[in-house]
Structure 1
């Protein structure tokens, strides 16, 4: 089992370049960065973690910019969004940003996506929260067309464009892997239909992982890679995930200044070393 990091990079914590270099030096294989374009002052959507919304949600760097900086100082690290809020984004711009990052990183980019939870944030982007799942499904189909077809077009109910030239194309073949986040029935249907890998959250039990993988195999989707997103340090759960067939665990890394971050990374690297293989 491989190990990576999932975190929020902000203007108050470790720089993405320093973080990426530190991860590669310690043997981590992946960096997943979260996205929030902004946080509305007036918000009724409850924070899924309970309580007040943590400070780092308000100050998150754009993940494509931060991952591009990380690409410049690393050679092996997988650079991923975890997760990009695609329903708040223009799909053609996102296709270009993702392909550009894949090119400059020599094929080390992965697109982690999710529908999001902050309805007020979505509405500020002109997105109707009621149709965000259907929108994401169409966007994923459109992305594949933009990445792989010389003259790409897509005609859906929520995404619609006539033939376009969209370059650069990714260097990853056939395109950067799409990691679908979430454990709901809708997310799992999206994974089966449009995803290349699954990104369940850190409270997902090993038994649930095994059940989903068996269901995917019955649907003709055998060997779907699984990365646990925002994992804690419970060693029994790490062992259970390995037994269930998880490919990678991305530990949750708190957003801290550089010196404190490096101390936490040393602790996580020691934990990962006990469960690698």
Structure 2
């Protein structure tokens, strides 16, 4: 089982490139950066994590710039978006960002995606909350066409473009793994339908490990193997018993969450996680 780490990168936290360097030194497999373009001050949409939205949701860096900074100072650690809100992004620009990051990192990008929860944030980008998951699928399908073909075109209900050309193409073929965030059953269904991995948040919505047999049955019914859609358990605490349970349950990757703090607070947590890895 592989171990990664995620943090909201901000101007008051350890910089993302330093976090990646320190995580790579300690044997972590991956480092992940989340995304929110902004948070509308109306705060109408409830945060799934609790009543109070943490300040760093307002403050987080752009994930692809964080990945680019990390890519040039590391050699082996994988670099993930956890998650990229593709429903708030132009798919042609996003396809280029993913491919460029994969080139600069020599094939180390993990493309974690999600539909998001903040309706007002989406509305500011012209995205309707009610149809966001249909839009997410079409944008993913469109990006796959861009990455795979020299002259791609796409015609969906919500995403359309005529034949065009775009380079660079990703190092990873046919593209970086698309790891779909979300819970059971809806997020899991999306991962089964068009993902290369499933990424539920640990402890969100009940016993995540208890959901895995149902997820694997969904894969079987869709004609996909467990290895086609490996499981990344995201944002969990550093606990030896929890890691053992995840490993026994066949989880492919666990991603620890660390707070957006300065180096003196974060590095001891990385050391604690590294001890668990060993």
Question: When the two structures are superposed, what TM-score results if normalisation uses the length of structure 1?
Answer: 0.96
Number of the residue aligned with 1:229? 234
CA–CA separation in structure 2 for the residues paired with 1:162 and 1:104: 28
Instruction: Select the residue among 215, 219, 224 that pairs with 1:216.
Output: 219
SS at match of 1:140: helix
Show the counterpart of 1:185.
185
Whole-Å separation in 1 of the counterparts to 2:13 and 2:255 = 19
Q: Which residue does 2:6 correspond to in 1?
A: 6
Q: Which moved more, 1:12-21 or 1:180-189?
A: 180-189
d(CA) in 2 for partners of 1:192, 1:185: 10
User: Structure 1: how far apart are the matches of 2:81 and 2:250?
Assistant: 22
Residue 82 of structure 1: SS of its match in structure 2? strand
Q: CA RMSD in A?
A: 1.2
C-alpha deviation, 1:270, in angstroms? 1.3
Partner of 2:83: 83
Mark the runs of 5 or more structure 1 residues left unpaired by the alignment: none
Q: Which residue of 2 aligns with 1:261?
A: 266
Q: Distance in 1 between matches of 2:110 and 2:6?
A: 13
Aligned residue pairs total: 273
Q: Which contiguous aligned blocks of 4+ residues in structure 1 show a shift greater than 2 angstroms? A: 233-237
Matches within 5 A, 1:65-80: 65-80=65-80
Residues in 2 aligned to 1:21 and 1:225: alpha-carbon distance in whole angstroms: 26
Q: Separation in 2 of the partners of 1:94 and 1:213?
A: 30
Of 110-119 and 208-217, the range deviating more from structure 2: 208-217
Post-superposition offset of 1:6: 1.6
Output one character per residue of 1:92-121: Cα deviation in whole Å (capped at 9) or x when no partner: 000000000000100000110000001110
Are 1:244 and 2:258 matched, yes or no? no
- In the alignment, structure 1 residue 173 sits paired with structure 2 residue 173: yes
